[in-house]
Structure formats: structure tokens, C-alpha cells
Chain A
Amino acid sequence: MIVAREVLGSVEELVETRAIHEKQGTFETVSVSERERNRSRFKTELGDGTELGVVLGDRELSPGDVLVESDERMVAVEFERREVLVVSVPEMSWKEALELGHHMGNQHWELAIRGDELLIPVVSERRLMERTLREELSDGATIGIESVDPELFDDPEDDPGHPHGHGSDHAHGSDGSDHDRSHSHDDVHGGHG
């Protein structure tokens, strides 16, 4: 098992090193899930089955971060894309929009806004989520599906330049900032039968 306790730089910075590893066939990326990238530590597996422990502490991972660099290998991070429902609504009154937002909050769903589209990560069965949404949407609205960069849902305060995304949870870290770290679920109070 290899344990990475720091980020050695990004692939953009380590161009020459990467080129050497690419040539040797020893460069690889490790796909990091939404849940893993928000934890302070996680364990994953490399292409050849080697276990990789990642200890982040206060650091947040970014795509392209290099976790391992040795004679044998160079390992960089990529983020697993998130499957989202893409909702396009022709036009809404503020009351309808408020009701839709309230309804989505009740479902603990995350939301990112991209232009005129609402992006909602698929966190339970797609058909159930679509059914719930349909009840709130006008007839002209469309619901599509897409795989997107998970950073669309990150808090813009953490990384300016991102579209404004809002999670359904706000973990107030010791720095007092809001983090969007949710792994939210279609959750109904009471036992799930």
C-alpha cells in the first residue's frame, strides 16, 4: 500500500516529469468519487491493484493533483463525473420558482444553475426524481440527463470562477465558511418501506 500525505504539484506544473512517465508507460490517473474528494482521507486502488491511501487533512483535491511520483509510477487525480438531470423551464413566475426550490430543498437535492438550466445530481432512482420534478414543472419544461464536472456543484466561495452551485447541506467548517459537501438523498421522513 502507498500512502499519499501531500500533493506533489499538478500535472500542469510537472510537465517534464509527466512526459518521462508517459514515455515509460508509468503515468496513470486515479478516478476520485464525489464522496472521496470531500472526505479528509480515503483509500482507493490503482490500475495494477496497488492500494493507495490518501490523507488530505485541510487540503482540497483538484483535478490534476499529483499524489505519487517515484521511479515506478506517477499518479494524478481526476474527478469522477456526476450524472445530473438537466431541467429546462420555458418561463416561471417567482411563485412557481419559489415552490420548485422549496420542493427540491425538501428532497435534499443539490442544485447548480447553468445559464437557464437547473442541474440536479441523480442521487436516487432517476424515474422517481423525474416523477417528483414533473409534479412541480409546467408542461413546456424538459428534463434531460448529462454527465458533468462535479466542480459545478462546489461552493463558489471556495473556488471563484465556478458557476453558482448550492448543495442541500452546509457544513460550517472551522474556518466558518460554507462547504457544499453533500451526498444528498431523496429522503422521506419515517421508515422506508
Chain B
Amino acid sequence: MSSPPTHRDVPTVGIGGPVGSGKTALIKRLVPKLKDSGLEIGVIANDILTQEDAKQFKRSFAGEIPDDLVVGVETGACPHTGIREDPSMNLAAIDSFLEEYPDLDLVLLESGGDNLAATFNPELADYYAFVISTAEGDDIPRKRGPGVVEADLLVINKTDLAEHVGADLDVMRTDAADVREGPSIFTNCKTGDGIDDVVADISDRVLF
């Protein structure tokens, strides 16, 4: 490559979804699996006003990911602003990763928890997963939010809680298939169920 690499030269995967759906838990599960396949990974956590998620990732990935490949972006406004309307802070963070790590294989971008309308700007994310949980109600897919409908992958997390909150997984599966063209995967980030399928989908559609 003649010119130094930029954010356009590294695959980027966005993880979005409502507050508490399990975005952070999913990333904590994904990183070790992706690392196992020999990838060098950077992680960006978008929070409204804090570095909480970034700090959590730094602790979780100590020894797995260098400290300077985990950063927090404080959007200072609605989370979707930083991933959709004006992703410049995120793009700058990816660029700075590449200055130090020009051979980086993948950047995971966690959005701040947002509503069902949040989507990633295609300039920022080459692929994004939208994470919802059974505990938010089994009617979420049917509500047809742009995040749910348009994400490359819909992740329906916390399958273990479904029985406790009266959520019908079959209804969620059927509704998701009705409103989406792309795939949906059920996960339980506590046990790791379904994570391999998420890794496989990311690998298949972005890492080539």
C-alpha cells in the first residue's frame, strides 16, 4: 500500500441496539473467538458522556488487546449521532489505531444504547449487528424499527430469560423472518450459546 492505511482499509463491524440488550456482553464473547482465529482487533465503545464501557473492555481484554486498541468515544449527544449523522469521531479513532497498528484486521464499534431506529452510517461500518433481548418483549421484531429491519444481522440475546418474562422465542423468530431479509441469530451471552454463529456470519460477510 503506497499511502498510510485509513479507516477505509480495515474491516469495521458495528454492534448497536437498545440499552441493556447485551451489546457489551456480546463483544466480550466475540473478541476471544476472533482473536483465536489470529486476528488483531481494535474496539471502540461509544458512550454518551463517559468511558464506562471502554474501561470495562480494557479490564476484560487485558492481555488480549493492547490498551491503546480500546478507546471510548464520548458522543455528548444521542448515541446515534456518533454512529450515523456524524461518525467523524469514530473514524478518527480508527485512523489513530491504524497509525500504530497498520496491519489491524478488524475494528469492532459498540454504539451507545439507543432506540430501535439507530443504524450505522455505511461509511463507518462495513457490517452491523443489531442486538435486542427477549427481556425487552417478544414484540420488538414486529415493531419494524430500522435497526431491527436493516441490520446485516439481528441478534436476539438473553434466550435464558424468555421463560421468565413471557417472551415466545418462536414468535420472535417468525416475526424477525417476516420483517427482515437478513439473518437472525439467538444468543445467550452468559453461556456463549449462539456466539459461534455470530462469528461465522461476521467472518463470512466481512473478513475476506
Contacts and interface: CB of A to CB of B under 8 A. Distances in A.
A192 B145 contact: yes
A132 to B, nearest CB: 14
A73 to B, nearest CB: 18
Interface in A144-192: 168-174, 179, 181-192
Given A40-B126, A171-B91, A183-B121, A189 B143 contact: no
A124 interface: yes
B111 interface: no
Contacts of B9: 40, 57-58
A173 B6 CA distance: 9
Contacts of B126: 39-42
Given A43-B208, A189-B115, A191-B115, A169 B85 contact: yes
Nearest to A124: B146
Interface of B: 3, 6-9, 11-12, 18, 78, 80, 84-88, 91, 95, 115-119, 121-126, 143, 145-146, 150, 204-206, 208
A20 interface: no
B123 A171 contact: yes
B113 to A, nearest CB: 11
Nearest to A192: B116
Nearest to B10: A40
Interface size class of A (residues with CB under 8 A): 35 or more
Contacts of A36: 122
Contacts of B204: 43
A35 interface: yes
B8 A56 contact: yes
A58 B95 CA distance: 13
Nearest to B18: A191
Interface of A: 1, 3, 34-36, 38-43, 53, 55-58, 108, 123-124, 168-174, 179, 181-193
A191 B116 contact: yes
Given A34-B122, A171-B124, 19 more contacts: A38-B123, A40-B9, A57-B9, A58-B3, A108-B85, A123-B146, A168-B85, A169-B87, A171-B87, A171-B123, A174-B7, A182-B84, A183-B119, A188-B117, A189-B78, A190-B115, A191-B115, A192-B117, A192-B145
A48 B41 CA distance: 34
Nearest to A187: B117
A67 B204 CA distance: 20
A191 B122 CA distance: 23
A173 B85 contact: no
Given A185-B146, A189-B115, A174 B85 contact: no
B6 to A, nearest CB: 5
Contact of A35 (B85, B117, B122): B122
A176 to B, nearest CB: 10
A39 to B, nearest CB: 5
Contacts of A179: 123
A185 B117 contact: yes
Contacts of B87: 169, 171
A144 to B, nearest CB: 24
Given A43-B208, A174-B95, A189-B78, A183 B122 contact: yes
A40 B146 contact: no
A115 to B, nearest CB: 28
A123 B123 CA distance: 17
A68 to B, nearest CB: 14
6 contacts: A40-B8, A41-B206, A57-B8, A58-B3, A183-B119, A192-B116
